Amino acid sequence: MVERALTVFLAGAECPFTCSFCDLWRYTIDGPTPPGALPRQIDETLASLDVSSLARIKLYNASNFFDRRAVPLEDLPRIAELCGRFGGVTVESHARTIDKEAVAFARRLEGAGGGRLEVAIGLETIHPRASADLNKRLDRDRFDRAAAFLTEHGIDLRVFVLLAVPGIPAAESIEWTVRSAEHAARQGAALVSIIPLRGGNGEMERLAGLGLFVPPTLRELESALEQCIEWKNTVVTVDLWDVERLEACPACREQRVERLRRLNLSASAEPPVQCRECQ
């Protein structure tokens, strides 16, 4: 089932987890998020749009929704009230921040007449060495505990995994991305999004200079998705944000991107793009 969603990018406190691949700190403020700031942003956004046909709202705050420094505890009732009109609400938070407040927020949404809470967690990779080098302070066991906690309390799980993680040999990159997506699916993820790792934050360029990061190509992104398409119980999609930055054959780039868009919507396999220039 394809649902229409509204994604709201909220301005608030910076994430305390300084992951090497992240550039979201550019969209945060200095210091803690002031109480009332996030409800006001959500309220103003909803007031400016016709959301009657939208099934879901995604609240992304470039940090962690269940970090009290980023989302003040006293703001949660009002946020739940504002989002109660939607059938589903998605927030993003580090696995280490998942606790009883996630359950309390889910119940507030239900009390406001809204639908199920979905929490998006960045697993990134299950490659043990590369995972440690990301400086995310997350291992597989901690992710698994967070996933089990959400399932136990009737909260949906969405997971992000990366393609082209620094420290993983380029020849193994797709394999580890697929293995990471498989692990997320086994832990109950209803949706897994494959994100091709992009440069631009300075650290990726430094790692590239050391030979530890090779930017992914469009064909590699295709290959990763093709190996995950039509899984039972878990939908796998690819993130096409800044897809134009991925190296690709100029003769068939547009066709391949459009095919990926269709696969994201259909979750059904279809014939590959045929191109004389790059086959």
Average pLDDT estimate for 159-169:
96
Please state, in angstroms and rounded to a whole number, the distance separating the CA atoms of residues 155 and 148. 10
User: Does 23 score more than 90 pLDDT?
Assistant: no
Q: In Å, how far are 21, 86, 120, 176 from 110, measured between CA atoms?
A: 35, 10, 19, 37
**Does the pLDDT of residue 1 top 90, yes or no?**
no
pLDDT by residue (tens digit) across 25-60? 788 899 999 999 999 999 999 999 999 999 999 999
CA distance 279 to 274: 7
pLDDT mean across residues, the chain: 95
Question: With 80 as the cut, is the pLDDT of residue 107 above it?
Answer: yes
The per-residue pLDDT for 2 is: 85
pLDDT at 177: 98
Q: Residue 81's pLDDT is what?
A: 95
| pLDDT number for residue 24 | 80
The pLDDT value given to residue 99: 96
- Residue 115 pLDDT greater than 80, yes or no: yes
Mean pLDDT, rounded, for 89-117:
94
Instruction: Check residue 251 and give its pLDDT.
Output: 96
Give the number of other CB atoms < 10 A from CB of residue 180. Answer: 26
Tokens standing for residue 245 = 């930055």
Give the pLDDT confidence score for residue 199 in this predicted structure: 85
Q: Which of 51-60, 143-152, 201-210 has the lowest mean pLDDT?
A: 201-210
pLDDT, one tens digit per residue, over 174-184 is: 999 999 999 99
